[in-house]
Amino acid sequence: MDIKEIFENLDYGTAPEDAKQAQNWLDEQGRKFGHFINGEFTKPSKLFTSNNPANGNELAKISNGTKQDVNIAVKAANEAFPKWSALSGFERAKYLYAIARLIQKNARLFAVLETLDNGKPIRESRDADIPLTIRHFYHHAGWAQHLTKEFPEQVPYGVCGQIIPWNFPLLMLAWKIAPALAAGNCVVLKPAEYTPLTALLFAQICVAAGLPKGVVNIVTGDGTTGACIVEHDDIDKIAFTGSTKVGKIIRKATAGTGKGLSLELGGKSPFIVFEDADIDSAIEGVVDAIWFNQGEVCCAGSRLLVQESIEQKFLKKLKVRMDKLRVGSPLDKSIDIGAIVDIAQVKNIQSLLEKGKEAGGNFYESKGKLPNQGHYIKPTLISNVSPSHPLVQEEIFGPILVAMSFRNPDEAIALANNSIFGLAASVWSENLNLALDIVPRLKAGVIWVNCATQFDASVGFGGYKQSGFGREGGAEGMSAYLKPAFEKKLKPQILEKSQSAKKTEASPISTIDKTAKMFIGGKQVRGDSGYSLDVKNTSGQNIAQVCAGNRKDIRNAVEAARKGLSWGDKTAHLRAQIIYYLAENLDYRKDEFATRISQSTGASATKAKREVELSIE
């Protein structure tokens, strides 16, 4: 057996992420959830289940929102709007910063919960979804402070009804809520029926950040709940991300109502590879474009267009790369492709594949076995098809790639634009002049050159044609939550300077983050992990938070200690002076130290003070 065969037959094992923290959180909530309305959770009712797509196990029971639930949520949002919109941008920014930091401190919990509920690999939720979510809240906190300068004569809509999909549950929530709040709107949001859990955890973050009641309301439920939001007379704007089919229904329902509307819908994005492209890089780009998040991405590069001269070579290399993709438990950190969100989506993909097989084409599935339980589909490549083939024209929303060839740039553009969709595109060429000539001729909202699926909160995202309209992110995304002031005048809500100051003093987030930092290398530093630990007193109450150190923090501390070995070279007199200085400062703050010891240990004030005095001695 040669070295290549040895490596091919190695069993690399698994690297599972511990789900205990997320499971404990679900247990603490009783695994039953009501709606989050006016700053509180309602009593659970009309329950349906949220399941783990990796194994089919029930995670929690969720309330199915009724028209009455939506009415209560909209009323709470309307009552909160005058005060929220009247706050200065600086005041609103403080809340957005606080939310961002709290998500950051609970990033691991969010990541694991997202993977359990959605089925996406933990690497993606941990390294992409949650960091981008945090980035959106930080970014829009900045926008809140610049609104009057950047958007003069613009005002918030009022109450925004927001409906988000199941493929990026928490990230889509951030795309919707962050700009809406920054602009001064209040929201009623409905998460997807399949993936409501991180939205409900986010509701607790809103409470912890001290967000005023009614500013954010989360009503869970199925499509009928979403319809109640769309049709509500007291909602001023609808923002929807989802299928083109539902988007058309929403546009029809809102036509003539005067409501603002933004739609981010389906896609069938072309991935164009020219003969001079770096083939190996383009292969990796294809993997990111179509098999990221199991292909459950609206802007997935699901149509591969390869120049005829390199088609066979490219597809051969792509098949080799496909065979190395690992499909399995999403909590395994070495997995590339996780579980499809629900059995209904699996059946939908399989139905489309059967339809495609009837129309012809070459089908290639990656090697390797699928898990014995859960909802999984192998990465699939379909080639030798015509532009009119059903799988070329229809959005599959799964790990299915369709490949065609082209002879020249004009034919590539014609094939790329031959779609009812126009969300995104990716162009691969070492000739930058060629790429820049192609880009303006593509009918797509977002176009990447020599990369794919790159996102940032500062860049607007959205499509053309049946991929919707409006943008999310950046200045364009902010403008989607504002309208000309003359359309509807806000009720006068002028805060006097003294009132504003009084409100700020009472705010629980006047200091955004009170986590005690570590002391390494002669200075205070924030922990590498970004996570925090609660410090509890003897009664189990949280009295503080400290950084959760990891191996890198220990390494930094050890390196700093090694650099500090010169302490032993100092004169005895100098060392004595420094120690005496420490004692002086400890004596000066002994009451503060005694109070903290008493809080932490339950010791009497007298005993705690005596302990400090002994330390000083």
**pLDDT per residue as tens digits for the range 114-136:** 999 999 999 999 999 999 999 99
Average pLDDT over residues 467-472: 95
31-50+58-265+472-506 adopts what CATH topology?
Aldehyde Dehydrogenase; Chain A, domain 1 (3.40.605)
Contact predicate 530/104, CB 8 Å: yes
Dmax over CA atoms of the chain, in Å, equals 90
Percent of the chain with pLDDT over 70: 93
Prediction pTM value: 0.84
10 Å CB burial of residue 237 (0-12, 13-18, 19+) is buried
Residue 498: per-residue pLDDT: 34
361 sits in the region (left: phi over 0; alpha: psi -120 to 50; else beta) called: left
264 catalytic per annotation = yes
CA dihedral 475, 477, 482, 484 (to 10 degrees): 60
Pick the CATH number of 270-456 from 3.40.47.10, 3.40.50.12240, 2.40.110.10, 3.40.309.10: 3.40.309.10
Up-side HSE of residue 473: CA atoms within 13 Å toward CB? Answer: 19
Residue closest to 444 by CA, chosen among 422, 465, 469, 426: 422
Which residues are CB-contacts of 90 (< 8 A; sequence separation ≥ 6)?
144, 145
Compute the mean pLDDT over every residue in the chain, rounded to the nearest whole number: 90
Contact predicate 390/359, CB 8 Å: yes
Residue 8: per-residue pLDDT: 56
Where do runs of H (alpha helix) occur along 386-473?
390-393, 409-417, 432-438
Query: Which part of the chain is CATH 3.40.605.10?
Result: 31-50+58-265+472-506
- The residue annotated as part of the active site, out of 264, 296, 394, 472, is 264
Query: Which part of the chain is CATH 3.40.309.10?
Result: 270-456
Residue 500: per-residue pLDDT: 37
Residue 513: per-residue pLDDT: 63
Residue 6: per-residue pLDDT: 56
Residue 115: per-residue pLDDT: 98
Up-side HSE of residue 460: CA atoms within 13 Å toward CB? Answer: 14
Contact predicate 169/117, CB 8 Å: yes
Average pLDDT over residues 465-473: 95
Structure confidence by residue, pLDDT tens digits, 96-112: 999 999 999 999 999 99
- The residue annotated as part of the active site, out of 160, 228, 298, 299, is 298
Task: Give the pLDDT band of residue 494 (cuts 50, 70, 90).
Answer: very low
Tokens representing 276 are 């001079």
Task: Give the pLDDT band of residue 512 (cuts 50, 70, 90).
Answer: low
Task: Give the pLDDT band of residue 577 (cuts 50, 70, 90).
Answer: confident
CA 81/CA 75 separation, integer angstroms: 10
Give the residues across from 484 on adjacent strands. Answer: 154
Up-side HSE of residue 98: CA atoms within 13 Å toward CB? Answer: 23
Task: Give the pLDDT band of residue 499 (cuts 50, 70, 90).
Answer: very low
Flag whether pLDDT at 87 surpasses 90. Answer: yes
Residue 2: per-residue pLDDT: 63
Distances (CA, A) of 302 to 122, 272, 358, 608: 23, 11, 20, 66
